[in-house]
Amino acid sequence: MSSQVDNLEVLLRKVRACKHCEANLPQGVRPVLQLGEQAKVLIAGQAPGAKVHASGVPFDDASGERLRDWMGVDKTTFYDKSKIAILPMGFCYPGTGKSGDLPPRKECTELWRREALDLMQNVQLVLVIGKYAIDWHLPKVRKNNLTDTVRAWKTHWPTHLPMPHPSPRNNIWLKKNSWFERDVLPSLKGRIQELIS
């Protein structure tokens, strides 16, 4: 086993033992992520929702079903850490606010994100999902809003793809922006197959 794998396993143990935000998490600490040294695809999401917090499995909800459909992969492939890594901006469920889930806690990014990314040297495509991930991964090229940033997806292709969140709450956005499923998803599915086959 290489030292890189050793380091990744050490990092995962530290993350899973982290209690840094415990006092600020109403549902408690339960980091949910999936990392693998060989992964070529990285999903940079927001933070786990309540259902994912309960199961401990990333994207184990309606958002995950839609995301797998967008990517053109089945569950077995999606949860194969040697192919797909999942590194949300916040690892634990942040709780609920007035208009849905609270933003991801910033501590995960500050404590763990750079080290985790440095240990995954094989990543060739980052799915940058939602505002918080876009702000971190594409800070110099993001547009005025999510729609304009996603519409300019070819600017970042084929290494990064800014995306809306696959949540059912975004059904209205998807209906208004039918170009996303028509124009973007075929390229995404093709690229995913290139990388994981």
Q: Report pLDDT digits (tens) over 84-93.
A: 999 999 999 9
Q: Residue 86 has what pLDDT?
A: 98
Buried b or exposed e, range 128-159, using 16+ CB within 10 angstroms: bbbbbbbebbbeeebeeebeebbbebeebeee
Residue 152 structure tokens? 């300019």
- 98-110 per-position pLDDT tens digit: 878 899 999 999 9
What is the C-alpha separation between 53 and 159, in angstroms, rounded? 29
What DSSP element (H or E) covers 42?
strand 41-44
Domains plus CATH for the chain?
A: 3-196 (3.40.470.10)
pLDDT of 2 strictly over 60: no
What is the C-alpha separation between 88 and 45, in angstroms, rounded? 4
What is the C-alpha separation between 170 and 177, in angstroms, rounded? 10
- 30-52 per-position pLDDT tens digit: 999 999 999 999 999 999 999 99
